[in-house]
Chain A
Amino acid sequence: MPLPYSETVMEHFRNPKNVGRIEDADAKSVEGSPACGDMVAVYLKVDEASLRIKDIKFESYGCASNIATGSIITELAKGKTLDEAKEITWQQASDALGGLPPIKTHCSVLAVDGLRAAIENYEERHGLVKERTATTVDEVMRRLKHVMNPMVGLDLVRTKVVKGVEVSDGVVKITIDLPADHQFSANIREEVSDKIAPLWDVKTVDVEFVG
């Protein structure tokens, strides 16, 4: 098999599970990354008493790793409570798929984010959200852990390229220890902005490359 994908990935790509939409869904999310262009929609049916996921479906406008992750993540989430499902990590999804090529990580993370966003959507709709808190450096760092350094397939925080984060007056300034003309700089900039900009009190995201 000359393709970089495992047999499991290819199987989920060929015959994805839980594909489609739920018309009377209790919650839904649409996650998209303009950098890669991939999009994922996740639909949930939730049992109100037990907060257990009764049914889950997804749609993908994406590449093979995106489709395969959508398929596996919905398999993993089905039957779990919202709190349990929220804890499913990208690593678990990737392991269940027999691994993904490093460069494809970000398309796959999108599907995991899609599940979380759908759960948050349910919580918002059903008044389960805790107080809104102001964005902190910690929260920014937490989100940067979901932005991949495509060179190695690990996130920006783990690969130690985040040099600094400043948060003040709705302006988030992030310095990245990579050259501005780095092969992936444009991609990283968009991905970072994508993760940080939706925070409710963030007005501007400023990404600077200083390598």
Chain B
Amino acid sequence: MTELTYLDNAATTRLDERVLEAMRPYLFETYAVATSQFGYSPGIEAKDALDSARAKIAERMGASAEELVFTSGSTEASNLAVKGVSMALGEKKGRHIVTTRVEDFPVLYSARALQKQGFEVTFLEVDELGRIDLNQLEQSITDATILVSVQSANQEIGTLQDVAEIGNICRNKGVLFHTDATHSFPRVPLDVNIAPVDLVTVTAHLAHGPKGIGGLYVRQGTPLGKWMDGGFQEFNLRPGEENIPGAVGFARAVELVTPEETARLQSMRDRLVDRLLQVPNSQLNGHPTWRLPHNANISFRFVEGESILLHLDMRGFAVSTGSACFSRSLEASHVILAIGGNHERAHGSVRFTFGRFNKDEDVDALVQAITDVIARLREISPLGKGE
């Protein structure tokens, strides 16, 4: 078996051993639930660990500790944001929310669930590079609008939105702003003191942290309903025993992401894009500069993504594709279609996402493998034979 070169770090990442080391004491020694200061000592220690993890993660976005609610991950965080605001303001203020066509499933389907309850939802279009039009956003906000939810970075094509400007528009209009920062935090800097966001979805497992822990930044004073019933944990917003090892691991993972490391991933990514765009009939999906530093997404014409993926797997590379053949619903990537791509462009799209454990030489090996695989599949394709 060839050693796996993993280039699907937007799906999940390998846990960093240092994160595991930080978590270990809270699995085997201080495994108690968090208790009040009047409880038994392991419980108090657990509570301290939870608070300190919360403070570290919040600090990374310029927030204070009590503004971060831990959740089981980003899906739950985005559900809490979208459904929580609708519960708090749906009756009081209005029943309209604004989001985009390219959101990831948690926001997209939370919005659709609200539609079924009678909320009106505006799904903003994006341009061919994946960015929303700020004027269009501004015009779509009405007196009934209670929430704008626009992602920080796209899960497939990596396009970044102008979160600060979107926040300013929402602030001026007096509307709450949620951003799904699942794919950008903590690699792409976000400061809630500069960007006026009210709610931010984050997760640990895309930055070499553990799976099963994420969080929602909730700016102080933001009205939010509790949509899941249970205990009073997490400021009475997210019931259930706290995942303390997870929270500690999340905080350690955030610490370990440095600008230097991100620059290294970006340079590998840039080299990969340069080389792959030399393959004839290939094109970059997403924005060339407003883009996640570790994401590349390229469409190769006349070939199909799942076939590319399987051939690469046989050669020891793990990547992802927007092809309908690969998706669970047999539908082509809604993101590629939203940027004006046709089924064919989605069909041959491949996403490469870098992480900490990728090495420089991975790029050359990958370019070689891709070039071979594309040539081979084009040979058996009925298309592109220059007729």
* Residues of chain A having any CB pair with chain B under 8 Å: 3, 10, 13-14, 16, 19-21, 30, 34-41, 59-64, 66-67, 103-104, 106-107, 150, 183-184, 186-187
Contacts and interface: CB of A to CB of B under 8 A. Distances in A.
A36 B324 contact: yes
Nearest to B326: A63
Interface stretch (B47-55, B75-83, B328-336): B328-336
Given A13-B310, A39-B383, A66-B304, 11 more contacts: A16-B380, A30-B382, A37-B332, A37-B346, A37-B347, A63-B323, A107-B325, A150-B330, A183-B329, A184-B329, A187-B330
Interface residues on B, range: 20 to 34
B356 interface: no
Interface of B: 302-307, 310, 313-314, 323-326, 328-332, 343-344, 346-347, 379-383
Contacts of B326: 63
A34 B343 contact: yes
Contacts of B379: 19
B304 A20 contact: no
A61 B306 contact: no
Given A40-B382, A150-B330, A61 B303 contact: yes
Nearest to A41: B382
A38 B325 contact: yes
Contacts of A103: 328, 330
A66 B381 CA distance: 12
A62 B307 contact: yes
Nearest to B345: A37
Contacts of B332: 37
Contacts of A13: 307, 310
Given A39-B383, A61-B381, A63-B325, A184 B330 contact: yes
B325 A61 contact: no
B330 A63 contact: no
Q: What 3 A-B pairs have minimum CB-CB distances, sorted nearest first?
A: A41-B382, A63-B325, A59-B382
Contacts of A61: 302-304, 347, 381-383
24 contacts: A3-B313, A13-B307, A16-B380, A19-B379, A36-B325, A37-B332, A37-B346, A60-B380, A60-B382, A61-B383, A62-B304, A63-B305, A63-B306, A63-B307, A63-B325, A66-B304, A67-B380, A103-B330, A107-B325, A183-B328, A183-B329, A184-B329, A186-B331, A187-B331
A37 B379 CA distance: 18
Contacts of A41: 382
Contact of B381 (A34, A59, A184): A59
A186 to B, nearest CB: 6
Contacts of B323: 37, 63
Contacts of A40: 382
Contacts of A107: 325
A201 B250 CA distance: 63
A37 B313 CA distance: 22
A39 B343 CA distance: 12
B259 to A, nearest CB: 36
A35 B330 CA distance: 8
B325 A37 contact: yes
Nearest to B330: A187
Contacts of B304: 37-38, 61-63, 66
A64 B382 contact: no
A63 B325 CA distance: 7
B325 A67 contact: no
B381 A60 contact: yes
Contacts of B303: 61
A75 B361 CA distance: 41
Contacts of B346: 37
A21 B383 CA distance: 11
Contacts of B328: 103, 183
B12 to A, nearest CB: 15
B33 to A, nearest CB: 36
Most chain B CB within 10 A, of A30, A37, A107, A184, is at A37
A180 to B, nearest CB: 12
Contacts of A183: 328-329
B381 A37 contact: no
A64 B307 contact: yes
Nearest to B306: A63
A83 B80 CA distance: 61
Nearest to B346: A37
A187 B219 CA distance: 42
Residue of A61, A64, A103, A107 contacting most chain B CB atoms (<10 Å): A61
